[in-house]
Each structure stands twice: as structure tokens, then as C-alpha cells.
């Protein structure tokens, strides 16, 4: 035992006159921490800029419409949307108009506007339809009916399309380079936040509105203020949790998929 005690006596101690290595300089330590924090924030800000600003710009290619079309001017001339965007007798929607809606007025160039001249000489005289780009074009598997929404539902074009119908110029069409879909479906904001009802038209956006319509038709209270996704999981996994017992979202009900998918 005594040998151990001898050793302990030999060990240099902090207050024994500083024969051992010097204690770490607290200023040096603070500097290192400051560097770590500094580079963490530089990295964070750089990745936020890449993810939120640069990536969305690279993700979408920009395409001009073949002809710049002035809605405001034509609305004044023809009066209403239905002269060009009308319902046929069988309830189908005409969509973007073909040359037939235009030739009454554009058999010949009537003004100075170069866009009109291009339209008349390159399309009307050539009897060639204008290959308009459709901002709201959904994938082929999606079934959408204007009659259900506009005629039965009484909804306004602006709710889903924004102010395209009042604009003076055709806006730039933005195409997602990966999926090939329009940005009007995928949304202005990469995280999916939207300020206007027309900013985004993905599956959830259709379903959210259908759910609101269902709730107001059945006079149900708005749903519990848990996140929508969590709320749905609870309702589907543990039926009976809520007194209203109305089941999951309109999307998870039996056969729900075939309402919107062909
Ligand atoms: C004189 C014919 C004409 C009239 C009137 C007219 N439009 Fe159009 N509309 C067009 C043409 C042509 C296009 C295709 C060019 C474009 O997208 O800019 C178009 C495109 C659109 C689109 C874009 C659809 C998509 O997803 O690409 C919307 C929305 C639209 N019109 C709404 C309206 C509304 C609302 C009104 C009435 C306030 C209206 N239009 C009046 C001719 C017309
Ligand atoms: C009621 C008559 C009328 C109809 C229908 C009509 N236009 Fe026009 N359009 C005009 C007039 C008038 C002008 C102005 C010409 C000028 O003075 O420059 C014009 C201008 C234009 C221009 C140049 C201004 C602009 O919009 O950029 C284009 C392009 C055009 N029309 C395309 C079309 C297309 C496409 C259709 C069919 C979907 C159509 N128009 C239907 C009367 C009409
Ligand atoms: C409930 C939402 C909603 C409302 C309301 C609505 N639309 Fe649409 N619209 C859509 C969707 C979704 C598409 C794409 C459909 C597709 O690709 O199958 C579309 C497509 C279109 C197109 C392009 C069709 C084509 O392929 O040629 C035009 C033009 C258009 N809508 C005009 C209008 C006008 C005008 C009104 C008002 C009378 C209106 N829409 C009301 C959702 C809506
Ligand atoms: C802003 C609200 C709103 C949006 C957005 C919306 N819908 Fe609807 N949808 C309705 C309402 C309300 C009805 C019922 C209309 C009626 O009274 O018949 C309906 C009905 C339908 C129907 C007919 C159902 C049936 O029983 O006949 C289909 C299909 C449909 N929507 C598909 C879609 C698709 C696909 C989208 C997205 C691209 C969409 N809807 C976006 C409100 C909306
Ligand atoms: C309220 C209408 C609606 C309902 C209900 C709905 N969908 Fe969709 N779905 C859409 C729309 C609109 C799109 C295209 C936009 C997108 O990708 O979000 C889509 C896209 C999809 C896609 C991707 C297709 C592609 O080409 O990008 C799949 C897969 C899909 N839905 C499966 C389902 C399944 C499974 C269900 C049932 C649980 C369902 N959907 C119910 C409207 C609906």
C-alpha cells in the first residue's frame, strides 16, 4: 500500500508550482467555439439559399406562349368569358378556344399589333391551331370536370386560375424539368405554402376543398386543430376517437381515389 502513497506524492498537482502541461487558454477555446458557430451558420445560410432560391429556379424551365394574348382587350370586345370558354351541349368544357372563335374578327390583320400579325399570318392563314401551353394541365390519370365545379358548384374561375382572365399579357409558362408538369400545379412555393387558392393545384389542394365542401354540406364543425395529417391518421387508425366520427379525409374513404382518377 505504501508504494501507491509514494506515487501519489510524486504526481505533479495543479497548485504544486506548474511543472506539468499548462492549462488550456480559455480565450483559445472561445475562439474555436466561435469558429464552429460561424461556419455552421455560413453553411446553413448557403444551403437555404441553394434550396429555397437557386434550386427552384433551376427546377423550372421558362417557356413563352406562341402568341402573347391580351385577355383584358378581348373581354372588352366580346363581353364575357363564355364566348371563348364555353360549355358544349353535352356538358363538356371547350377549354382554350380554337381558331373558330377567332376568325370572325381575324380573317385579316386589322391593327398594328405585331402579335396580331403573327397570329393571322402564321396560324389563321395557314389554318394551323395555336399550340397554347396549358398552365393548369393535370396528369392524364386525373379526371376533372368543369361542369361539376362551375355549373353545379357555382364556382368562380378565379378560385382555381387566379387572374389570368383579366391579364394583358400571357404569363410565362414554367415547366418542372423532372416531372414535366406546370408550376401552376406544383406551386409557387417549394414547401407548398400558398397565399392564394390558385397558387397550387396538387392532389391535396383538390381534396382540401372537397373536404370543406363536405363539412359545410353536413354542417360539421371544422376538424380538430391537430395537423390535418395527424388528424387523418388518428381518425383512420382509431375510429371512434372523436365524437363526430366522420372518418378520415375525403381522400381515404372507400373508393375515393376513383372520384378523381381514371
Ligand atoms: C376572345 C377569346 C377569349 C376570351 C373572351 C377569354 N379568353 Fe381566356 N383564353 C383565351 C385564349 C386564346 C387562351 C390561351 C392563351 C393564354 O393562356 O394566354 C386563354 C386562356 C385562358 C386561361 C388559361 C388556362 C390554362 O390553364 O392555361 C384561363 C384561366 C382563362 N383563359 C380564363 C378566362 C376568363 C376567366 C375569361 C373571362 C373573364 C376569359 N378567359 C376570356 C381566349 C379567351
Ligand atoms: C370580336 C372580335 C375579336 C375576336 C372574336 C377575337 N379578336 Fe383578337 N383582336 C380583336 C381586335 C379588335 C384587336 C385589336 C387589333 C388592334 O387594333 O391592334 C385584337 C387583337 C388581337 C391580338 C393582338 C393583341 C394581343 O392580344 O396581344 C391577338 C394576338 C389576337 N387578337 C388574337 C386573338 C385570338 C387568338 C382570338 C381567338 C381566341 C381572337 N383574337 C378573337 C378582335 C377580336
Ligand atoms: C375547381 C377549380 C376550377 C374552376 C372553378 C375552373 N377551372 Fe378551369 N381548370 C381547372 C383544372 C384543374 C384544369 C385542368 C384540367 C385538366 O388538365 O384535366 C382547368 C383547365 C382549364 C382550361 C384549359 C383547358 C384545356 O386543356 O384546354 C381553361 C381554358 C380553363 N380551365 C378555364 C376556366 C374558366 C374560364 C373557368 C370559369 C368559368 C374555370 N376554368 C373554372 C380548374 C378549375
Ligand atoms: C375550391 C374548391 C374545389 C377545388 C379546388 C376542387 N374542387 Fe372538385 N369539387 C368541388 C365541389 C364543391 C364539388 C361538388 C360540386 C357539386 O355540387 O356537384 C366538386 C366536385 C368534383 C368532382 C365530381 C364529383 C362527383 O361526385 O361528381 C370531381 C371529379 C372533382 N371535384 C375533382 C376535382 C379535382 C381533380 C380537383 C383538383 C384538380 C378539384 N376537384 C378541385 C370543389 C373543389
Ligand atoms: C380530390 C381529387 C383526388 C383524389 C380523391 C385522389 N387524387 Fe390522386 N391526384 C389528384 C391530382 C389532381 C393529381 C395530380 C397532381 C399531383 O400530383 O398532386 C393526383 C396525382 C396522383 C398520383 C401521381 C400521378 C402522377 O402522374 O404524378 C398518384 C399515384 C395518385 N394521385 C394516387 C391516388 C390514390 C391512391 C388516391 C386514393 C387514396 C388518390 N390519388 C385520390 C387528385 C386526387
Residue 157 forms beta bridges with which residues? none
Query: In sequence order, which residues have a C-beta less than 8 Å from that of residue 71 and are 6 or more positions away?
Result: 164, 165, 166, 167, 168
- 55 domain-assigned: yes
Is 137 a member of any domain? no
Q: Is residue 110 helix, strand or coil?
A: coil
**74 CA distance to ligand 2 centroid (A)?**
6
Q: What per-residue confidence (pLDDT) applies to 123?
A: 96
At 52, the pLDDT band (50, 70, 90 cuts) reads confident
Domain boundary among 37, 61, 85: 61
230 lies in which domain range? 202-262
pLDDT category at 225 given cuts 50, 70, 90 is low
**Residues in the chain, overall count:** 262
Q: Using the structure block, give the residue that is written with the C-alpha cell 394574348.
A: 69
Distances (CA, A) of 35 to 24, 26, 47, 48, 156: 17, 14, 18, 20, 56
Q: Could you identify the atom of ligand 3 that is nearest to the CA of residue 155?
A: 5
pLDDT (tens digit, 9 = 90+) per residue, 96-155?
Answer: 999 999 999 999 999 999 999 999 999 999 999 999 999 999 999 999 999 999 999 999
Most confident of 11-15, 152-156, 191-195: 152-156
**Does residue 230 lie in a domain region?**
yes
Residue 120 domain-assigned? no
In a domain, 239, yes or no: yes
If one counts every other C-beta atom within 10 angstroms of the C-beta of residue 170, the result is 19
Residue 36 lies inside a defined structural domain of this protein: yes
CA-closest residue to ligand 4 atom 1: 209
Number of domains in the chain: 2
Is 38 among the domain residues? Answer: yes
H or E stretch at 173: strand 173-176
Q: How far apart are CA 137 and CA 140, in angstroms?
A: 9
Whether 259 lines ligand 4, by a CB cut-off of 6 Å, is yes
- Determine the residue of 141, 160, 167, 197 to mutate for testing ligand 3's pocket, defined as the one with the most ligand atoms within 8 A of the Cβ atom: 160
Identify the helix (H) or strand (E) that includes residue 55.
helix 55-59
Q: Label residue 20 by pLDDT band (50, 70, 90).
A: low
Indicate the range of 73-77, 144-148, 174-178, 187-191 predicted with least confidence: 187-191
Q: What is the pLDDT of residue 163?
A: 95
Specify the 3-state DSSP secondary structure of 180: coil
CB 102 within 8 A of CB 150: no
Q: Is residue 159 part of a domain?
A: no
pLDDT of residue 224: 64
What DSSP letter does each residue of 8-39 carry, written as one string? HHHS--TTTTS-SPPPPPHHHHHHHHHHHHHH
Amino acid at each position: 500500500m505504501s508504494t501507491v502513497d509514494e506515487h501519489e506524492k510524486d504526481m505533479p498537482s495543479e497548485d504544486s508550482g506548474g511543472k506539468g502541461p499548462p492549462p488550456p487558454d480559455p480565450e483559445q477555446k472561445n475562439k474555436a467555439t466561435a469558429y464552429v458557430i460561424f461556419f455552421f451558420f455560413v453553411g446553413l445560410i448557403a444551403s437555404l439559399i441553394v434550396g429555397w432560391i437557386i434550386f427552384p429556379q433551376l427546377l423550372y424551365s421558362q417557356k413563352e406562349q406562341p402568341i402573347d394574348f391580351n385577355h383584358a382587350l378581348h373581354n372588352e370586345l366580346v363581353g364575357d368569358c363564355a364566348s371563348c370558354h364555353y360549355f358544349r351541349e353535352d356538358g363538356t368544357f371547350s377549354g382554350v378556344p380554337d381558331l373558330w372563335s377567332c376568325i370572325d374578327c381575324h380573317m385579316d390583320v386589322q391593327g398594328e399589333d405585331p402579335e396580331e400579325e403573327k397570329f393571322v399570318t402564321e396560324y389563321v392563314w395557314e389554318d394551323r391551331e395555336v399550340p397554347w401551353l396549358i398552365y393548369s394541365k393535370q396528369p392524364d390519370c386525373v379526371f376533372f370536370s368543369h361542369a361539376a365545379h362551375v355549373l353545379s358548384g357555382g364556382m368562380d374561375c378565379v378560385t382555381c386560375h387566379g387572374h389570368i382572365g383579366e391579364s394583358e399579357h400571357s404569363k410565362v409558362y414554367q415547366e418542372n424539368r423532372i416531372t414535366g408538369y406546370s408550376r401552376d400545379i406544383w406551386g409557387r412555393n417549394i414547401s407548398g405554402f400558398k397565399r392564394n387558392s390558385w397558387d397550387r393545384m396538387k392532389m391535396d389542394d383538390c381534396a382540401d376543398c372537397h373536404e370543406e365542401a363536405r363539412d359545410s354540406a353536413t354542417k360539421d364543425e371544422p376538424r380538430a386543430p391537430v395537423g390535418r395529417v395527424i388528424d387523418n391518421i388518428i381518425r383512420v387508425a382509431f375510429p371512434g376517437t372523436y365524437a363526430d366520427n366522420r372518418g378520415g379525409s375525403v381522400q381515404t374513404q372507400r373508393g375515393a381515389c376513383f372520384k378523381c382518377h381514371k
